[in-house]
């Protein structure tokens, strides 16, 4: 499955299981020779398997979506995060999902178009902000008590936008990069 975000406030889930899609992926990954790779024609899929519609999850465009086990976390430019589970195999494609959790980051926190990362091993979610902070949620606690707030990480020497965050495999290290060309590592 592949998930994509959209400026029309939708999130789409696409199946990669059709025979034609699998053939195209296999051809791209294992060409017989370089010339064959250049000859691969694009294959378009017109309709997603699941479409989470605008007003149901987000009220602004969705700029980030990431898998979290068999669920998705989507983030909108209105500072809203949604944890939701697509219902695969449902014949009513539109709005075929179950909303598990929805929360809003504080209005003063500007997180427009910034990437998030999730560590599946430790179940931590991290995002960067425009003022150089990183917010980290423990999803194990947040799922049971949405009032549980996040932990803020900040380097006092930088107020530049944190544009990317990434956990290592077990969540013991978080790396962030900022727009002033700095890289920060938290252990």
Look at residue 24 in the predicted model and tell me its pLDDT. Answer: 80
pLDDT averaged over 10-residue windows placed end to end, the chain, 187 residues: 87 85 80 65 77 74 88 86 79 67 70 76 86 85 70 83 91 92 91
- Residue 3's CB: how many other CB atoms inside 10 A? 18
**Confidence (pLDDT) at 110:** 59
Domains and CATH numbers, the chain: 55-186 (2.130.10.10)
Give the CB-side neighbour count of residue 102, counting CA atoms within 13 A: 9
Look at residue 176 in the predicted model and tell me its pLDDT: 93
Torsional class of 102: left (φ above 0), alpha (ψ -120 to 50), beta (otherwise): beta
Place of tokens 């194990």: 140
pLDDT (0 to 100) of residue 37: 62
Residues with Cβ < 8 Å from 26, sequence gap 6 or more? none
Report the C-alpha gap between 108 and 9 in whole angstroms: 22
CA distance 79 to 58: 9
- SS3 for the chain is CEEEECCCCCEEEECCCCHHHHHHHHHHHCCCCHHHHHCCCCCCCCCCCEEECHHHHCCCCEEEEEEECCEEEEEECCCEEEEEEECCCCCCCECCEEEEEEEECCCCCCCCCCCEEEECCCCEEEEECCCCEEEEEEHHHHHHCCCCCCEEEECCCCCCCEEEEEECCCCCCEEEEECCCCEEEEC
pTM score:
0.74
For position 103, what pLDDT does the model report?
A: 81
pLDDT, residue 166, reads 94
pLDDT at 22: 85
Given this model, what pLDDT does residue 147 score?
Answer: 61
User: Strand 183-186 vs strand 62-68: parallel, antiparallel, or unpaired?
Assistant: unpaired
Please give the pLDDT value at position 97. 82
35 Cβ contact partners less than 8 Å away, ≥ 6 residues apart: none
């Amino acid at each position: 499955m592949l998930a994509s975000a959209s400026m029309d406030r939708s999130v789409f889930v696409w199946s990669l299981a059709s025979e034609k899609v699998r053939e195209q992926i296999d051809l791209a990954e294992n060409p017989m020779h370089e010339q064959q790779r250049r000859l691969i024609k694009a294959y378009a899929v017109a309709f997603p398997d699941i479409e989470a519609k605008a007003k149901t999850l987000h009220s602004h465009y969705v700029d980030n979506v990431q898998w979290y086990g068999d669920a998705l976390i989507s983030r909108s430019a209105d500072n809203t995060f949604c944890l939701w589970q697509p219902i695969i195999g449902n014949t009513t494609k539109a709005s075929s999902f179950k909303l598990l959790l929805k929360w809003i980051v504080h209005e003063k926190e500007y997180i427009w178009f910034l990437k998030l990362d999730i560590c599946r091993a430790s179940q931590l979610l991290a995002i960067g902000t425009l003022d150089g902070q990183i917010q980290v949620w423990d999803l194990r606690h947040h799922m049971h008590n949405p009032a549980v707030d996040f932990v803020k990480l900040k380097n006092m020497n930088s107020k530049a936008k944190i544009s990317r965050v990434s956990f290592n495999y077990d969540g013991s290290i978080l790396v962030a990069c900022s727009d002033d060309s700095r890289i920060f590592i938290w252990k």
